[in-house]
Each structure stands twice: as structure tokens, then as C-alpha cells.
């Protein structure tokens, strides 16, 4: 993934989507242009530890209304990815990720509840095939397991 | 209609299995060729997996899509997040042959290949486009005339539009039309297109999640609404569960939350119990009581054909 600084530059001067962004409108302190300004000034480190970058809801409103089909969210995603690399993910994201790479799922069907509701047995999960694929993926990236 | 695999997703099956009940029932009632297939994993969830590892996010989604393709099926999901994630990756691969090649070289090791040609539908636009408004209308047993509902689209049913391409991404209409076909009034409201905000609960910001839920629920409380209708387990969690939590702490909203499959199920003649409505945390009794009181009152199921019996030129 890379960030297009040309687009970011334009985005920094624009701000047209503030009126549609649910977080800009409702969460005090959420201000994507400030973040983008800091990225352009190469002074973004302090954002990695902030709540702000996790307040982008990935609702894609900014993307849809944007005249360059760009969207604030690209900058936020980039910072969240960096934050994750440094181990700065929120607890729940970390827990979800751990479960995902262990099982390929974020939760399993509950057979007792299914019985009570008269639902058929749930289809089998693709866990084994997923784990095999995950291993291949890690090898391809040279990750030691 | 081509057979389709149902992609239930993790959340519905792990947390809200009763939503699976109503979905199966409406599929049955409309005689739709649905299938359960073994081998799906998490779609995977974007905010979680994509933020940590974009490549794994793509590869996992590609694997799910490839399974559907291999069986010659299309895909329909009652989960908004699942469809949006799968469609986004599908589009990304279709536009980048090199990337698709890299993904396929790994998928080959588990006996799969992604082409990018399966149709991936969200259940709501699927009912609108593939089943059709007319078919929906003609199956209604007790019209919902007089019922005032607030539709909550949910961001990922329609966005990103370059991947989903199923409605206007900012001023969608299909969900409204379906609900109107059942006889309901879709009440205009200021926060209609606002994101539910449930994502904040997933990043340890519970108070902010409640704050977002409150904004919409407050508006709806002031509007004489009988229910909010949605079709996304994440939005459902936000408005049913979080509304329940706030009510327990003394804030009163009293907005029943209905899944689209439940509203449709009721209209085509299933009972509330059969549909699993008693599993909601915020009670839906006020909706049902009003509907029972006024249901069907002076209302026709409607549609042109209902008045055309016996007058066809061809005797049909
Ligand atoms: S995707 Fe993020 S930045 Fe864009 S409008 Fe939604 S919350 Fe705001
Ligand atoms: S995302 Fe697009 S519309 Fe929003 S401020 Fe940036 S350039 Fe303007």
C-alpha cells in the first residue's frame, strides 16, 4: 500500500467531506485534515498512539463524495496499519486478530442455540484449508513461524 | 435464477442465529434456490484484518469467492460487512491482473482459483433486483399499511459503490421501495444515512459507540416511528443491544429494531415466534400490537395485476 502525496496535498486543502463524515460531525477532536497536514509535514508519529485514527468508521462517505474518489480514510488506514506494526492496536482488535489467524473465523456457530431454534447443523468451516493458505502466505513474505 | 450459496458470516451464526431463522424462512417462502456450502471462513472483517495485513485480507476473501465460483454458484449474504468486503476484494483483483496472478498462485496450493465472475449480492438489493418488487408485493398476506418505519441502510450495503455498484451510494432507494411494497411508510429523517457507529465498540471506544447510537435513536424517538428496519448484524448489535444497555441505565427510546428478513417474514405470513422475534433485547411488542390493531385495514395488496383478473386479451 502507498499513499499518493499529490492527492493528499489536494485533500489537505479541500475538506469538502467534513459535512458528511459521521466522525467529523459527531466526535469532538476528530479532524482528518490535521492528521493529513502532519503526514505531509512528516510529523505523524504522535498520531499512531491516538484514539483518532481508530475513529474513522470506514463508512466510505468521504470516498463517495470526493471529487478525486480518494477519501480521508486512506490516510487513516495507512496510520492504523503502521500503528499495528508497532503493536499499538486496541485490545479488541488484537483479540479479534488472534482468533482470526487461529481459526479463520471471528466466532463459531453455537450448536445448542441452533438446536433450540430448529436450525440445521451449520456447514463446516474452512479452517484447515485457511491455515494451510495462511502458512503459504507467511512463507511467501518470509515470515518465520 | 442461478443457485446461490448463502454467506452467513461469523456474527450472525455466532451471536444472532435467530436472524438465520428468518432468512431461511423467507428464502423458503419465495422458493429461492439457496445452498449451504462447507468451507467458508470469515469474509474477513475489514476494520480488523485489513488494518493489520492487507494481503491476508485479500487472500482470505479471494479464497471464499473462489469456492463459490468453483461450484458454479452466485453468493447472497444477509450480512452487510461480508458482502462489502468480498465485493471490494473481487473488484480489486479484477482490476489488477498481476495481483490476481499472485493470489491465484497461492490459492492453487489449496486447489482453488479465483476468476472474479461470481455475482456477490447483499440480500436487500438481491430481493429488489433478482426476486423483484412485484413478486414481493404479490406474496404479502397482511399488508403493513399504516406502519411507519425508519430505514437504516447501513454503510456497506451500498458502499464502496465502485465495488458493489448496486444503488446510489449517497441517496439509495431500493430498501425503501421494498419496504413500501410491503405497505409500510418509509419515514424521512435527518440521520437516515448516518453510519451506525458500532465500529467504535470494536476499537475499545464503547462510550463513543453509545454516543453515535443515541444521536439516531433520539431523532427517531421524536418522530412517532413504529420500528427501525435494517439488514446488517453490526448495525443490529448497535441499535438493539446498545439501545437495551442505555435503557437499562435509564434512557428511554423504545424503538423496536427489525431485521429486513423479519419484517418481510411477518408480511408474508409467518408468526412472530416462528421468526424468532422474542430473541431481541429491545421488545418488538409495540410494533406487533399496532400492526395487529390496524393491519390490513382497508388496504389492498395492490399492484396493477390485482385489478386485471379475467380481462386479459389473450385470456391469460
Ligand atoms: S470513512 Fe472515515 S473519514 Fe471517511 S467519512 Fe467515514 S468516518 Fe469519515
Ligand atoms: S477526501 Fe476528497 S472530498 Fe474529502 S477533503 Fe479530501 S479531497 Fe476533499
| One domain, residues A42 and A57 | yes
E strand or H helix at B125: helix B123-126
Our CA dihedral for A129, A135, A138, A139, rounded to 10 degrees, sits at -120
- pLDDT-derived band at B313 (thresholds 50, 70, 90) equals low
| One domain, residues A75 and A105 | no
Q: What pLDDT is recorded for position B185?
A: 97
| One domain, residues A60 and A17 | yes
How many CB atoms are located within 10 Å of the residue B228 CB? 25
B280 interaction partners in chain A (CB closer than 8 Å): none
**Residue A68, ligand 2, Cβ within 6 A:** yes
Cβ within 8 Å, pair A96-B45: yes
User: Mean of the pLDDT values across residues A94-119?
Assistant: 97
Residue A112 in contact with partner chain B when CB distance is under 8 A: no
Domain final residue pick, A40, A62, A85: A85
**Residue pLDDT, tens place only, B187-238:** 999 999 999 999 999 999 999 999 999 999 999 999 999 999 999 999 999 9
Q: What pLDDT is recorded for position B85?
A: 97
pTM as predicted: 0.95
- pLDDT-derived band at A68 (thresholds 50, 70, 90) equals confident
Cβ within 8 Å, pair A125-B203: no
| One domain, residues A56 and A103 | no
Residues in contact with ligand 1 (CB, 6 Å cut-off): A 17, 21-24, 32, 56-62, 71-73
Our CA dihedral for B143, B144, B145, B149, rounded to 10 degrees, sits at -160
Instruction: Give the nearest chain B residue to A26 (CA atoms).
Output: B212
Domain final residue pick, A85, A102, A132: A85
- pLDDT-derived band at A25 (thresholds 50, 70, 90) equals very high
Split into its structural domains, chain A has a count of: 2
Q: Could you give the CA distance from residue B12 to residue A61 in angstroms, rounded to a whole number?
A: 25
- Secondary structure (DSSP) of B70-85: HTT-EEEES-HHHHHH
The domains found in chain B, sorted by start residue, are 4-122 (1.20.1050.140), 143-311 (3.40.50.11810)
Per the CB < 8 A criterion, the answer to whether B275 and B21 are in contact is yes
How many CB atoms are located within 10 Å of the residue A6 CB? 10
Please report which ligand is nearest the Cα atom of A76. Answer: 1
Per the CB < 8 A criterion, the answer to whether B208 and A26 are in contact is no
Cβ within 8 Å, pair B48-A96: yes
How many contacts, defined by CB atoms under 8 Å, are there between A and B?
171
A105 interaction partners in chain B (CB closer than 8 Å): 10, 14, 41-42
| One domain, residues A96 and A70 | no
Q: How far apart are the first and last CA of chain A?
A: 24
Q: What pLDDT is recorded for position B314?
A: 60
B145-181 b/e (C-beta count within 10 Å ≥ 16 → b): bbbebbbbbbbbbbbbbbbbebbebeebebbbebbbb
| One domain, residues A19 and A77 | yes
Show the domain range for A35: 5-85
Residue A80 in contact with partner chain B when CB distance is under 8 A: yes
CA of A72 to the centre of ligand 2 (A): 6
**Residue pLDDT, tens place only, B120-158:** 999 999 999 999 999 999 999 999 999 999 999 999 999
Cβ within 8 Å, pair A106-B276: no
| One domain, residues A10 and A58 | yes
Q: Give the gap in angstroms from C-alpha B92 to the nearest C-alpha of chain A.
A: 13
* A75 pLDDT above the threshold of 90: yes
Nearest to A91 by CA among B256, B206, B255, B178: B206
Diameter of chain B measured on Cα atoms: 65
Using the atom order of ligand 1, give the atom closest to the CA of residue A17: 5
CA of A79 to the centre of ligand 1 (A): 14
Q: Give the gap in angstroms from C-alpha B313 to the nearest C-alpha of chain A.
A: 47
**Residue pLDDT, tens place only, B170-193:** 999 999 999 999 999 999 999 999
Per the CB < 8 A criterion, the answer to whether A130 and A104 are in contact is yes
| One domain, residues A55 and A98 | no
| One domain, residues A15 and A81 | yes
Cβ within 8 Å, pair A63-B159: yes
CA of A36 to the centre of ligand 2 (A): 11
Ligand 1 atom 5 nearest Cα: A21
CA of B201 to the centre of ligand 1 (A): 16
Residue A81 in contact with partner chain B when CB distance is under 8 A: yes
| One domain, residues A100 and A120 | yes
Ligand 1 atom 6 nearest Cα: A59
**Residue A17, ligand 2, Cβ within 6 A:** yes
Residue A143 in contact with partner chain B when CB distance is under 8 A: no
Our CA dihedral for B110, B116, B119, B125, rounded to 10 degrees, sits at 110
Please report which ligand is nearest the Cα atom of A32. Answer: 1
- Secondary structure (DSSP) of B228-288: EEE--HHHHIIIIIHHHHHHHTT------EEEHHHHHHHHTT--TTTTTGGG-SS--HHHH
Using the atom order of ligand 1, give the atom closest to the CA of residue A24: 8
CA A107 to chain CA centroid, Å, is: 19
- Angle between the A5-14 and A32-40 helix axes, to the nearest 10 degrees? 140
Domain final residue pick, A43, A63, A85: A85
Q: What pLDDT is recorded for position A3?
A: 83
Q: What pLDDT is recorded for position B70?
A: 97
Q: Give the gap in angstroms from C-alpha A43 to the nearest C-alpha of chain B.
A: 21
| One domain, residues A9 and A78 | yes
| One domain, residues A14 and A80 | yes
Amino acid at each position: 500500500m502507498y499513499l499518493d502525496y499529490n492527492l493528499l496535498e489536494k485533500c489537505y486543502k479541500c475538506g469538502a467531506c467534513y459535512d458528511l463524515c459521521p466522525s467529523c460531525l459527531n466526535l469532538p477532536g476528530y479532524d482528518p485534515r490535521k492528521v493529513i497536514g502532519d503526514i505531509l509535514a512528516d510529523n505523524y508519529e504522535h498520531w499512531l498512539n491516538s484514539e483518532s485514527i481508530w475513529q474513522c468508521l470506514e463508512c466510505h462517505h468521504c470516498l463517495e463524495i470526493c471529487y478525486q474518489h480518494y477519501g480521508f480514510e486512506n490516510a487513516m488506514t495507512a496510520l492504523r496499519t503502521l500503528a499495528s506494526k508497532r503493536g499499538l492496536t486496541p485490545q479488541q482488535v488484537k483479540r479479534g486478530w488472534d482468533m482470526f489467524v487461529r481459526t479463520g473465523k471471528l466466532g463459531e456457530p453455537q450448536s445448542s442455540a441452533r438446536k433450540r431454534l430448529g436450525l440445521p447443523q451449520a456447514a463446516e468451516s474452512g479452517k484447515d484449508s485457511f491455515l494451510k493458505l495462511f502458512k503459504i502466505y507467511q512463507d511467501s513474505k518470509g515470515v518465520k513461524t | 435464477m442461478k443457485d446461490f450459496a448463502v454467506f452467513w458470516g461469523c456474527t450472525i451464526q455466532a451471536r444472532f442465529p435467530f436472524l438465520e431463522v428468518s432468512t431461511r424462512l423467507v428464502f423458503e417462502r419465495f422458493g429461492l434456490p439457496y445452498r449451504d456450502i462447507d468451507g467458508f471462513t470469515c469474509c474477513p472483517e475489514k476494520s480488523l484484518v485489513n488494518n493489520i495485513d492487507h494481503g491476508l485480507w485479500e487472500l482470505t476473501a479471494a479464497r471464499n469467492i473462489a469456492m463459490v465460483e468453483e461450484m458454479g454458484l452466485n453468493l447472497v449474504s444477509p450480512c452487510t460487512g461480508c458482502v462489502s468486503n468480498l465485493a471490494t476484494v473481487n473488484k480489486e483483483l479484477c482490476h489488477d491482473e498481476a495481483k490476481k496472478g499472485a493470489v491465484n498462485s497461492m490459492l492453487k496450493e489449496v486447489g482453488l482459483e479465483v476468476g472474479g465472475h461470481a455475482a456477490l449480492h447483499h440480500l436487500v438489493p438481491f430481493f429488489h433486483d433478482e426476486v423483484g418488487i412485484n413478486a414481493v408485493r404479490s406474496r404479502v398476506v397482511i399488508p403493513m399499511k399504516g406502519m411507519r418505519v425508519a430505514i437504516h441502510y447501513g454503510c456497506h450495503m451500498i458502499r464502496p459503490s465502485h465495488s458493489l455498484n448496486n444503488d446510489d451510494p449517497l441517496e439509495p432507494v431500493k430498501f425503501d421501495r421494498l419496504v413500501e411494497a410491503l405497505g409500510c411508510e418509509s419515514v424521512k429523517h435527518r440521520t437516515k444515512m448516518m453510519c451506525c457507529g458500532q465500529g467504535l465498540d470494536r476499537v475499545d471506544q464503547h462510550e463513543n459507540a453509545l454516543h453515535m447510537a443515541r444521536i439516531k435513536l433520539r431523532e427517531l424517538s421524536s418522530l412517532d416511528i413504529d420500528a427501525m428496519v435494517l439488514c446488517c448484524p453490526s448495525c443490529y448489535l448497535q441499535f438493539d443491544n446498545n439501545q437495551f444497555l442505555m435503557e437499562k441505565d435509564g434512557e428511554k427510546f423504545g424503538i423496536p429494531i427489525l431485521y429486513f428478513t423479519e419484517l418481510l417474514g411477518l408480511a408474508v405470513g409467518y408468526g412472530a415466534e416462528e421468526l424468532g422475534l422474542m430473541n431481541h433485547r429491545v421488545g418488538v411488542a409495540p410494533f406487533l400490537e399496532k400492526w395487529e390493531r390496524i393491519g390490513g385495514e382497508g388496504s389492498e395488496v395492490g399492484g396493477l395485476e390485482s385489478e386485471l383478473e379475467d380481462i386479459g386479451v389473450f385470456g391469460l
